[in-house]
Structure 1
Amino acid sequence: MKTKFYFLTLFLIAMISCTQVDNKLNVTVYETSEAGNKLTPISTFTSDENASIITLNPKETFQTITGFGGAFTESSAYLLNKLSKKNRDTILQAYFAEDGANYSLTRTHMNSCDFSLNQYSYSPVAEDMELEHFTIKEDMDDLIPMIKDAMKVSKDGFKIFASPWTAAPWMKDNKKWVGGKLLPKYYDTWALFFSKYADAYKEEGIDIWGFTVENEPHGNGNNWESMHYSPEEMTEFVQHHLGPKLEADGKGDLKILGYDQNREGLKEWVDVMFKDEASSKYYDGTAIHWYESTYEVFPEALQYAHNKAPNKYLIETEGCIDSQVPVWQDDAWYWKKEATDWGWDWAPEKDKHLHPKYAPVNRYARDIIGCLNNWVDGWVDWNMVLDTKGGPNWFENWCVAPVIVDPAKDAVYFTPLYYTMAHFSKYIRPEAKVIGLENSDKELQVTAAQNTDGSIAVVVFNEGKTKKSFKLLLGEKETLVNIDAQALQTIMVSTIKN
């Protein structure tokens, strides 16, 4: 009798063990933290009876991901050419290799911008209405080689869209690089400019995916290259000039993104851009920036823009730690609320509350998660590489990039911002679908997306000063995860076979 009882006990223990194994969710956890982790695999977790619950729902799907990445600027490309081949290759591998951040969506500038070495245009000859003297020679030394080398590194390839800061002064009403508007008599010439640019880059072996019509059409306080549009003026240009020209030249597949500035102005722009079928025809989506606030995501504006054009792109095309000199090789600074932005000094009094001091990592993590949870399908950082001063920048508009270099010493610093971007770009791949979830801990910021291979990437950000625990649930399977204080995690859930 005792023998039977003994074997029955063993059988029950085995059954319970099998059930526990069967219910175990197979995950790999990567963490970047204030304590020093940098995309570090985490595998040991301690139980916590107070663990919150995050429940995934892959059956509830939202937007399709276009990609994540950064911008090719002349400043970044110039700096890469100042480094040793070893360090140049290290940076390009870190951004574009499969075992690096694996960037999939990128931006570059047409003509010069503030992160150029000087001011220039591809149409240097005044009144050249047919752009017979069009040339991209200014890009040949630095910018184009950087893009080509990135293409060699990237296994899956990446999309690249281009943005003009301004037309040449001779096309504008104020005849200056800064401010002013494109004269209507040059609308056709400016549309031709986009077409010629795509041809010129294609001749260099670079396929352009699309354009934003104008970087920051509201201007930038009359500081560096800019050109102003109202929503009506931009839509007139796109509807009757740019769209038809690209279509006539066999480039109708090139994407056109309107607006390209801060989110608070979204409503008035999308109301005009997507007013009716005619105005919407050539717009493929909307481009946005994050400079309206150091902490606010503006979810209502994002939701409004999506609902206005639910089948079109909504892409964050620029965000960076602006108006700030980088802090060299001090990871701790990027986790502290010590950074200030342009609005700290210059925002109108009524908007000052939107620009408190902030921690750079927090700003990136909460914004990308907030965007993904509000229909944004792509998120593009600004400069990939800057120097220890935050340039070069001809206007001395210093900013921070995820990778900082000191060319004089051939030194490279991968800031925590690099790892923050990689938590998204490396694991949430193009064509992934953002999925539904329920999160019982409102202090944890969470988003999730299912890749085309079936894997699910869950990104969790703990902005607080206290370590937390949560159970991650998917169907009948679960796993316990601990997340450190001030930490960002990507949890990769393996494909579950039914």
Structure 2
Amino acid sequence: MWSKVFFVCLLSALQQSSFGVDLKFRECSPRMPTAVSNWSSPYCVCNSTYCDDAPRISRPSGSFRSYVLISTSKDGLRFSTSTGSFRGSDAAPDIKPDASITVDPSMTYQDILGFGAAATDATGININSLPEAAQNEFMRSYFSEDGLEYTIIRVPMAGTDFSTRPYSYAMVENDTLLEYFALAEEDHRFKIPFIRRAMKLSRRPINLLASPWSPSPWMKARPTWIGSNTLKREYWHTWAFYFAKFFKEYQDQGLNFWALTPQNEPLNAFGALPINSMEWTVEDQRDWVVNFLVPILKKTGFGNINIILVDGMRHLLPEWPQIFMNDSSTRKQFAGTGVHWYLDHSYSVDRLDETHDLFPDKFIIYTESCPDYDADLGSWYRAEQFAVSIIDTLNHWVVGWLDWNMALDERGGPNWNGNFMGAGVIVNGSAGEFYKQPTFYTMGHFSKYVPPGSVRIGTSNEGPFEIKTVAFRRPDNSTAIVFLNTHDSERIISVSDITKGAIEFSIPGKSIHTLIYW
């Protein structure tokens, strides 16, 4: 079956030189998971000598109505490409589409900021477990022109649960002036080298986003890393200075930050979750940011770093942004709102609209999203979860969407507290291999083909709810439409654009596609 898929994709590629599709891209080397379920799909195997690419797409020669369709499916397609042309004013074929998509380029919405994931300790540990050549393939897969071209990296400030130990940069007790502040071995071995390699590979600028999980226990009301806990008020100044010290240390390594969040999931500690955490009430966090963090960052030369508030689940919207930005003097301190996807199933996407309507000059970005519970090789269910979330949130003013860990091991770690999860890439260090999950390809349908600076444009969808769409005008003035078919069966799609004409094509059941046309 897989050799047939490979042959069809290769034959299609050989026909596409005039359509702006790179002929040299390498196809997925598929492998099915050992434990097969109704949601099982191939994952793609990479090693030191071979790894598949994300095909480069450029403006084709000839007709201005040309299009390229990039496809990924539960049955095994991975960035498969096909090409064609809009039929202009020609008579419509005798086909009854299941869904009719109409594009309205005159209706414009938010600019896209980018897509990415986090440079956790677990990510760095797993990369370092691979041979050097396989490491290079891993980095290319995420950051090069032949990869997903991620443009945002979230950088934890010290440890998270996806570390092998809890730690901070201020481990000496009562060091209120932070005279002993120091980056950890993990920064020098895992995070900083990883970020440098990513920036060297990328043709697009990469934005760094900093987030803290927990200060040292001596700064907290209860001297623990986890559980219900707050920052002692006598250390509010010290904790703000901690941020400035962190940015200076990274600046000395040649790395500058685009943005920060004041606290990862500030309500986690209230729920006593078993991860590094610290709780904040919204009023206390606002007062700390406005009266301590902002002045210290300005004084130390880091006042240009954007502050993204909330960095928690959707149920905090729009109340937290309202309290943070309740007057003009505080509102100007914040660039946008960060959201995590974990409770989206319980809280309406309308909360994003409400937040945008209140603060239309402030962006909304999803700063963390992750499938729960272990690695789950080859899960199409998780790929579909990602696609549904990304399409739904982009259609409601979100400007970017971040995965959590870029790489985990076959258990879904390491994680010092056993909180194993999934990732876009699973690493088998002992075999010198890594496995690209279906979620990796879901991310690429957006990060690769909807670059920063793209603008969401209007669409209408006459068809079943199983077909989800979102459309953009890209910086090169082409149009990109992402389609998701959540149904088990093939569906016929019609796309109409008043500036180009119409096309019809079929898409497999359980599949995601990016259509690009000029």
Q: TM-score, normalised by structure 1?
A: 0.86
Distance 1:24 1:121, change over 3 A: closer
Number of equivalenced pairs: 444
State how far apart, in whole Å, the 2-side matches of 1:420 and 1:296 are.
23
Flag the 1:361–1:130 CA change in 2: closer, same or farther, 3 A. same
Distance in 2, Cα, partners of 1:184 & 1:81:
40
> 1:82 matched to which residue of 2?
129
Q: Which moved more, 1:181-190 or 1:208-217?
A: 181-190
Match in the other structure for 1:145: 193
Q: What is aligned with 2:509?
A: 485
Question: Which piece of structure 1 moves more, 172-181 or 390-399?
Answer: 172-181
Which residue of structure 2 aligns with residue 173 of structure 1? 221
- The answer on whether the counterparts of 2:67 and 2:84 sit within 8 Å (CA) in structure 1 is no
Question: In structure 2, the residue corresponding to 1:191 is in which secondary structure?
Answer: helix
Q: Take 1:431 and 1:63, find their aligned partners in 2: how far apart are those partners?
A: 9
> CA offsets, 1:298-337, max 9 Å, x none?
2111111111211112110000111x12133xx3xx12xx
Structure 1 residue 255: Cα displacement: 0.8
**Is the Cα–Cα contact under 8 Å of residues 239 and 278 in structure 1 kept in the other structure?**
no
Provide the residue aligned with 1:182 in structure 2.
231
CA distance in 2, matches of 1:99, 1:408: 26
Residue aligning to 2:450 = 428
For 2:288 and 2:517, locate their aligned partners in 1 and report how far apart those are by CA, in whole Å. 46
Contact 2:315 2:347 in 1 (8 A): no
Structure 2 SS opposite 1:43? strand
TM superposition shift of 1:441: 1.5
Partner of residue 269 from structure 1, selected from 320, 343, 355: 320
172-181 or 384-393, larger mean C-alpha shift:
172-181
Per the TM alignment, residue 44 of structure 1 is displaced from its structure 2 partner at its CA by: 7.2
Match of 1:112 among 159, 175, 182: 159
Instruction: Give distance in 2, aligned partners of 1:84 and 1:491.
Output: 36
What's the secondary structure of 1:196's corresponding residue?
helix
Alignment partners' CA distance in 2, 1:412 and 1:244:
45
**2:74 maps to which residue?**
34
Contact 2:164 2:414 (C-alpha < 8 Å) held by counterparts: yes
With over 3 angstroms needed to count, the CA separation of the structure-2 counterparts of 1:197 and 1:47, relative to structure 1, is farther
Partner of 1:309: 359
Q: Deviations over 1:141-171 (max 9, x none)?
A: 1121111111111111211101000111111
Q: Is the deviation greater in 153-162 or in 36-45?
A: 36-45
Distance 1:392 1:129 in 2: 32
| Aligned counterparts, 1:26-425, within 5 A | 26-43=66-83, 49-51=95-97, 52-138=99-185, 139-178=187-226, 179-219=228-268, 221-222=271-272, 223-293=274-344, 295=345, 298-322=348-372, 324-328=373-377, 331=378, 334-335=379-380, 359-425=381-447
Contact 1:274 1:308 in 2 (8 A): no
Q: 1:235 to 1:382 in 2, by over 3 A?
A: same
TM-score by length of 2: 0.83
What is the CA deviation profile of residues 106-135 of structure 1, one whole-angstrom value per residue up to 9, with x for unaligned ones? Answer: 201002100011111111112222211111
Distance in 2, matches of 1:196 and 1:47, equals 65
Partner of 1:354: none
Q: Distance in 2 between matches of 1:369 and 1:76?
A: 26
Shift of residue 43 of structure 1? 3.5
| Cα pair 1:238 1:283 within 8 Å, conserved | no
- State the distance in 2 between where 1:459 and 1:248 align: 44
Q: Which runs of 4+ in 1 moved over 3 A?
A: 22-25, 43-48
1:329-358 deviations in whole A, cap 9, x for unaligned? Answer: xx3xx12xxxxxxxxxxxxxxxxxxxxxxx
- Residue type of the alignment partner of 2:365: I
Contact 1:239–1:281 (8 Å) recurs in 2 = no
**Partner SS, residue 140 of structure 1:** helix
Supply the distance in 2 between the matched residues of 1:105 and 1:48 (Cα, whole angstroms): 45
CA shift, 1:480, in A, is: 1.6
Quickly say closer, same or farther: Cα 1:49–1:75, change in 2 above 3 A: same
Percent identity for Structure 1 against Structure 2: 33
Q: Could you say what secondary structure the match of 2:117 adopts? A: strand
Match of 1:154, as an amino acid? S
Which stretch shifts more, 281-290 or 467-476?
A: 467-476
Unaligned 5+ runs, structure 1:
1-21, 336-358
Following the alignment from structure 1 to structure 2, what is the Cα–Cα distance between the partners of residues 265 and 464? 32
Give the greater-gyration-radius structure (CA): 1
Alpha-carbon contact 1:25-1:478 (below 8 Å) kept:
no
1:279, distance to aligned residue in structure 2 (A): 2.5
